[in-house]
Structure 1
Amino acid sequence: MVGGSEQRQADYRVIIVQILVIIFLWINMLLTVTFFKKQSFHTSARYLLFALVLLSDSFLLVVTDILLVLSFFRVVMQVWLCIIVSIVVFLYNMVTPITLAAMTLERYVAICMPLRHAELCSTRSTVHCILIIHGISSIPCIVILSVFFASVSLGVFTQNMVCSVEMFILYTWHSDLRSAVSQFFFLIMCIVIIFSYYKIMKAAKAASGENKKSTQRGLRTVSLHAFQLLLCLIQLWCPFIEAAVLNINLILYVNVRYFNYIMFFLAPRCLSSLIYGLRDETFFLALKSSFRFGLQKSTDSDAKKRGLGLTVSVCNTS
C-alpha cells in the first residue's frame, strides 16, 4: 500500500515537472522569437548574449527533461551514448553563468568605457566571445570525463545503464574534484561581477542627469546578474545538501532533490531570463508588439471566418 502511494506521488511529480517545463519552454520560445524578429537586436552585444542564455537554457531544459523521463521509466542506454548526452548537459550547464559574467562586463564597458564600447562589443567581437564562452564552459566537462575515462575499463562503454550525470561519480574524490572545478569558475565569475558593480557604482556617483539614470539602470542590471549567478551557485551546492540528507532518510532525500530541481534548476532557467527581458525597455516593447501582433492576427482571422460564414449564410438564404 505504501509502495503504491509512493508510486502515485512520483507520477504526480513527473507530471508537474512536465507542465513546468512546457510553460518555461513556451516563455523562452516567446522571448527567443522576439529576439529574432527584431533586426536591431542582431547587432547588439547585449541582446546577442541574452539570446545565447535563452537558447542555452531552453536546450538544457529539453535534454535534462528527457533524461528525467527516461530515468523515471528506467529506460537504459549504452554508456557511450549517455556520455554524448552528458557532454551537452555539462557544457550548457556552465554556458549560462559564464554568459552572465560576459553580460556584466558588457555593461561595465558600456558605462565606464563608452567611447570604446562600439569597438570592444561589436558583432564580430561578440561572436568571438560566444565561441570563447563555449570553450571555457567545456573545461569542467573535459576534466570530469577525463577522470571517468581513466577510472573505468573499455568494457564499461558498451554496458547498458540508466543515463544520469551521477554515473560519472565513481569515487568520493571525483565529486570533490568536480565541485572544486565548479567552485573555482564561480569564484572567478563572482569577482567579475563584484569588480563591475564597484566600477559602475563609482561611475554612478560621478555621473549627473541622464548619465546618472543610465548608470543606475546598469547597477540594477549587474545586481540582477549577481542574483542569477547566486541561483546557479546554489544549484552547485545542492548535491552536497542531498548527499547529507541521504544519510538521514531516503524519502526526505527524494523530497529535497525534487524541491531543488524545481527551485534551483528549472525556475532560474526561465524566470531570470523573463525578468531580464521585461526589465529592458527596448526588449519589452518589442515583446509587447510581437504579442499584440499575434493577437491581432488571430482576431483578424476570426473576423474573416465570421464574415465568410455570414456571406455563405446570406447566399444560401437567397
Structure 2
Amino acid sequence: MNSTMYLYSVQERYSDAFAKNFTVVLLAVIILSINGVFVLTFFRSSIFYNDPRYILYIHLVINDMLMVFISVILSVMAYLWQNVPLPFCVILLIIASTTHKNTPLTLAGMAVERYIAICKPLHHHQICTVRRTYILITLIWGVGVLPGLADLILLSIVRPLSVSSTATSCGASILYSSPYHEVQSRFMNGLYSSVVWVILVFTYCRVLIAARKATTDKSSAKKAQSTILLHGAQLLLCMLSYITAVIDKMFVPLAPVDRARLTFLNYLLTNILPRLLTPLIYGVRDKHFYKHMKALFSCRLYIVKVESIKE
C-alpha cells in the first residue's frame, strides 16, 4: 500500500489540502462507525464467540478498521508533519503493511473454513475449533508482518545510519525508495496474491463439486459456493490497492493539470472505499449476523423511546 500517494508540491493550495484531508477523515469516520456496528454486534452476542466463521469475520473487520485508521494518519501527516522521527514512521508503515496483507490472508482462511464445513462436515467441529481459529489469526499476523520487517531490514542495510536518527516525510514511497525495496515489494505482493488465489480457486472448485454431488443439503453447499465467490469479489476489491501506482501512470498523464486530484481520487477508490464495502457486504448478507445486529439496535431504540416517554 502506497501511503504517500498524495504528497504534493508546496504550491498546492491550502483549500485543496484542507478539502482532501477533510474528505479522508470524514470517510474514515464513516467507515469506522459502520464497521464498529459489526464489532459491537459480535461482542454483544455471545453466540458468535464459539463460531470460527464469525471470529474470522470480525478479525477481518477489526483489521480493516486498523488499516483505515493508520492509512488516514499517514495521509494527514503527509500535509501536517514533514519531519517525522524515522522510528515512529517505520512503526506506522509496518502496521499499515501488516494490516494490508492480513486482509487477503483472512479471506483465504474464511474460504478454507467454508470448504471444511461443506466437504468435511463430520470433521468440521474437530478441525475448526475456537483455539485453532485464534492460532490461525496469530499465524496470519505473523505472515503479514514479514514484508514490513523485510522493508525495515533492507532500510537498515541500505541506509544504516538513518534508522534511528533521521527525521523524514513519512511514506513508503519516500522511505523505501531503493531498487531492492521495489523488487521485494513486487515479489511479496505477487507471492501473497498467488497463494490466496490458489486457495480460493481450490476451495471453490471443491465446494462446487460437493454441491453437485449433494443429495440432501444442497442449499448449504450452494450457499458456501456463493460465499467463496463473495470472498473472491472481496479479494478483487482489496487488491485494487496493489495497482494504485499503475492506475496513476495510466490516467495522470492524460490530465497532468489535475494530477493531484486524480491521484487523490485513485487513493480513495483503491485504498479507502474497499475497506467499507468488504465487511458491509458480508455482514449484511449473513442473515444470522444481520438478525442479531437488527435486534441489538431495535432494543436500543426501544430503550431510548421508553426513556423519552418517561421524561
Could you tell me the TM-score, scaled by structure 2's length?
0.91
1:43 alignment partner, SS class: coil
Residues 153-173 of structure 1, C-alpha deviation per residue, up to 9 Å, x if partnerless?
A: 324531221211222322234
Distance in 2 separating the partners of 1:6 and 1:66: 20
Q: CA deviation at 1:179?
A: 1.6
CA change 1:147–1:251 in 2 (3 A) is farther
Deviation larger for 101-110 or 231-240: 231-240
Which residue type is aligned with residue 286 of structure 1?
Answer: H
Query: Displacement of 1:198 after TM fit?
Result: 0.3
Which residue identity lines up with residue 30 of structure 1 in the other structure?
Answer: V
Indicate the residue corresponding to 2:53 in structure 1. 46
Pick closer, same or farther for the CA change 1:121–1:72 going to 2, 3 Å. same
Q: 1:263: which partner in 2?
A: 269
Q: Does 1:73 align with 2:76?
A: no
Q: Percent identity?
A: 26
Displacement after TM superposition at 1:136 (Å): 1.0
How many Å apart are 1:247 and its aligned residue? 6.5
Structure with max Cα Rg: 1
Report the alpha carbon displacement of residue 196 of structure 1 after superposing the two structures with TM. 0.5
Give the AA of the match of 1:238.
T
Equivalent residue pairs, number: 302
Q: Which runs of 5+ in 1 are unaligned?
A: 306-318
- AA at the equivalent of 1:289: A
Give 1:297's aligned amino acid. I
Distance 1:283 1:213 in 2: 18
CA RMSD of aligned residues (A): 1.9
> Alpha-carbon deviations, 1:15-67, whole Å to 9, x = none?
12211111111001000000001111011100000111111111111111112
- 2:67 touches 2:100 (CA, 8 Å); kept in 1? yes
Residue of structure 2 aligned with 1:18, choices 25, 29, 41: 25
> SS of 1:100's equivalent?
helix
CA distance in 1, matches of 2:201, 2:294: 33
In the alignment, is the contact (CA less than 8 A) between 2:155 and 2:163 conserved in 1?
A: no
1:239 maps to a residue whose letter is: A
Amino acid at match of 2:304: S
Counterparts of 2:79 and 2:177, CA distance in 1: 22
| Whole-angstrom distance in 2 between the partners of 1:269 and 1:10 | 23
1:206-217 to structure 2, matched below 5 A, reads 206-209=213-216, 211-217=217-223
Alignment partner, residue 4 of structure 2: none
Q: Is the 8 A contact 2:247 2:266 kept in 1?
A: no
Of 166-175 and 260-269, the range deviating more from structure 2: 166-175
For 2:151, the equivalent position in structure 1 comes to 144
Cα displacement (A) at 1:105: 0.3
Tell me what 1:313 maps to. Answer: none
More helix by share: 1
* Correspondence for 1:135: 142
CA apart distance, 1:13: 2.0
Q: Deviations over 1:259-318 (max 9, x none)?
A: 22211211111211011011111101001011101211211121121xxxxxxxxxxxxx
Inter-partner Cα distance in structure 2 for 1:123 and 1:84:
30
Structure 2 SS opposite 1:208: coil
Give the SS at the match of 2:177: coil
- Report the equivalent of 2:161: 154
Given that 1:56 and 1:95 are in contact with CA atoms closer than 8 Å, whether structure 2 keeps it comes out as yes
Structure 2 gaps, min length 5: 1-9
Verify the 8 A CA contact 1:245 1:252 in the aligned structure 2. no
Task: Tell whether the 8 Å contact from 1:79 to 1:160 is kept in structure 2 after alignment.
Answer: yes
